[in-house]
Chains A and B, each alone.
Chain A
Amino acid sequence: MELKVLKATIKKEFQVRLRVYPISFMVGCILTSFYTTFGAWLMYHYFFRRQLSDSFSGLTGTSDYMSYAIVGSLMYLFVVRTCLNVSRTLMTELWEGTLESLMLAPFRRVAYFLGNMLLQTITTFGETAIATLIGVFFGLRIHEFNIIEFGIAVVLSLYCFFGVSLMLGCVMLYTRNTYITQNTLFTGMFLVCGITFPIEYLPTGLRLLGKLIPVTDCVSLMRAALLGGMGQGQFTQTALMALISGTIYIAFGMPLMKQAERLALEKMEG
């Protein structure tokens, strides 16, 4: 039955998007990636005058700042698009008046969320591909492409983003707010997850905060798969950390989501 729900949710979401694909939203996200990359490019060329401190290559394993920042911004686009849509699914159901009819059906929520996640992943891959082309224009160079590491990074990223989406979705459903919640989280992630600079440059508290969000490890893994600069042992250790933190997010996110659903239905009473 879970597979039925998973397949049906993918099909339903696909049908909805086929009719009303939010093109402006997609363009907005690609533009965010463009602005991030462009901002990094401007800073690198006109503020830093292409001068990087020695510590940068020591910390990141690369001296190609533009590729470092572009991979970070592509991952940021990926996490924003995925988390945003998955975490907002129940809020969308609430707005569209279908939350009650959905909750009346006796299905496992995990299949429903995974269905949404998988369809979103396909869409996001397309959007990231467009953003990658923009990145190439700004100087993205793939130095050491490792297909196995890339595969591991993609799978672990999806796993972790699913966990983050669940937690974000709980907060959204509980507060009945999407904009403040999502914008706070995404701005926070941009600052503390090593999107355009290594988190080691941050104060200790923020660095620890960045470590608690699995996106940081996922970005590091993706950079390692595309740009190199990370030994096998360190890659395995980072992958393990991402797996553990993703599991913790999912393990807490699922039961919390049930609670948030219950509260949302009660709040509908006013």
Chain B
Amino acid sequence: MIEVRNLKKTYDVKRRDGLFKSHRERIEAVKDISMRIDAGQIVGLLGINGAGKTTTIKMLTTLIEPTSGTYSFDGMDAIKHPSEVKKQINMIAGGERMIYWRLTAYENLWYYGQLYGIDNAVLKQRIEKLLKLVGLEDRANFPVETFSKGMKQRLQIARGLINDPKYIFLDEPTIGLDAVVTQELHREIKSLAKEHGKGILLTSHYLSEVEELCDYIYLVNSGELVVEGIKKDLTDFVFLRNQYEFSTKGMDEAIYQKLKSHICHVDNEAEISFENGKTVIESKMELSSVLAGFAIQEMLTINELHKMEPSLEQAVIKLSKDMQKEEIA
């Protein structure tokens, strides 16, 4: 298990005021972040407005040292033993970086395998398996510079798995990938966590990706944790409600008024409107059975009963807007 408590990172940067003038400024990239990643779990790290996601990942991968806070890696002090941590982790970042363009795909994986001290026989098998996994087995001996963007990204994914890491940090891993490869990668990420027990931290701009893959989500803003939990916790936090669309045969104003009063007895905070022969209800409560019960009681035939849960994207957008308003205020 990876557990960080009150992680903080500050930088002293030099800011130019003119040709010869400059001043030093202290930047708090991460102010206070506590989080946990369990084996077999996919954890999402979402950020709003330069939130400090990349700095957090760099601290977790021991690339940079936190200014303060604690970092426990399977019970070990990770800040004191970065080399031990490095053996058991890897990072896959979006884009075409982190691989040597002048080497072939095979040579890249071989070189990184050597840096991790992997036995040659094991490494050979692993490279073949990984190239197959990312669909590059036919291009194994071609220089990376001849690859398309997607192929480079796929090779990067193979590189990130070369040391069979226990924990994997995925920083925008599907950026620039086509839908088919993205879907395959999603399958692989799920399999790595659920079948192979790997702990995964995922950051992505595609909120639907986070929603689909993550078991638990941390939302950070300006280097601080705003909210954490499962998707429902996040939508509840921003008071997003389920939306129901309900219509019956012969629904008119009288039935609508009756329905409105019925709903208000169950949830007096629900917002109800009647549009184009349909009743639209927004409520934090589960109302499907209430609506079905109403139709039975009034002996009405249901034309439509549709429930839409608020998405993570809606929650993050709303939260982002709320925070911008707060900042302006």
Contacts and interface: CB of A to CB of B under 8 A. Distances in A.
Interface of A: 1, 4-5, 7-8, 11-12, 15-16, 19-20, 96-98, 100-107, 262, 265-266, 269
A149 to B, nearest CB: 37
Contacts of B83: 106
Interface in B1-30: 11, 29
A262 B11 CA distance: 12
Contacts of A16: 100, 102-103
Contacts of A5: 114-115, 117
B200 interface: no
A147 to B, nearest CB: 36
B154 to A, nearest CB: 15
B102 A97 contact: no
Interface string B80-111: 00011011011101011111111100010011
A100 B115 contact: no
B61 interface: yes
A116 to B, nearest CB: 13
B76 interface: no
A97 B91 CA distance: 14
A46 B279 CA distance: 103
A254 B159 CA distance: 27
A4 B114 contact: yes
Interface string B154-176: 00000100010000000000000
A16 B111 CA distance: 12
B102 A19 contact: yes
A97 B98 CA distance: 6
Contacts, number: 81
Most A CB atoms within 10 A — which of B55, B95, B100, B103?
B100
B63 A103 contact: yes
B86 A105 contact: yes
Given A16-B100, A98-B100, A106-B87, A8 B115 contact: yes
Contacts of A4: 114, 117
B111 A100 contact: no
A145 to B, nearest CB: 40
B65 interface: yes
B31 to A, nearest CB: 15
Interface in B45-72: 54-55, 58, 61, 63-65
Nearest to B62: A104
Secondary structure class of chain A's binding surface, majority of residues: helix
B63 A269 contact: no
Interface of B: 11, 29, 54-55, 58, 61, 63-65, 83-84, 86-87, 89-91, 93, 95-103, 107, 110-112, 114-117, 143, 159, 163
Contact of B115 (A107, A266, A269): A107
22 contacts: A4-B117, A8-B110, A8-B114, A12-B103, A12-B111, A15-B103, A15-B107, A16-B100, A16-B102, A16-B103, A96-B100, A96-B101, A100-B91, A101-B97, A105-B86, A106-B83, A106-B116, A107-B115, A107-B116, A262-B64, A265-B63, A266-B11
Nearest to B101: A96
A180 to B, nearest CB: 17
Contacts of B84: 106
Given A8-B111, A12-B107, A105-B86, A266 B102 contact: no
Given A106-B83, A269-B11, A1 B117 contact: yes
Q: Which 4 A-B pairs have the closest CB atoms?
A: A97-B97, A8-B114, A105-B115, A101-B98
Nearest to A4: B114
A162 B248 CA distance: 83
A126 B157 CA distance: 39
A265 B58 contact: yes
Contact of A100 (B98, B107, B117): B98
A105 B165 CA distance: 11
Contacts of A96: 100-101
Contact of A266 (B64, B97, B98, B110): B64
B13 to A, nearest CB: 8
Nearest to B50: A270
Contacts of A98: 97-100
B102 A20 contact: yes
Contacts of A265: 58, 63-64
A4 B116 CA distance: 9
A1 B98 CA distance: 22
A12 B100 contact: yes
Nearest to A1: B117
A101 B169 CA distance: 12
A103 B64 CA distance: 10
A15 B103 CA distance: 7
A269 B58 contact: yes
Given A19-B143, A266-B11, A104 B86 contact: yes
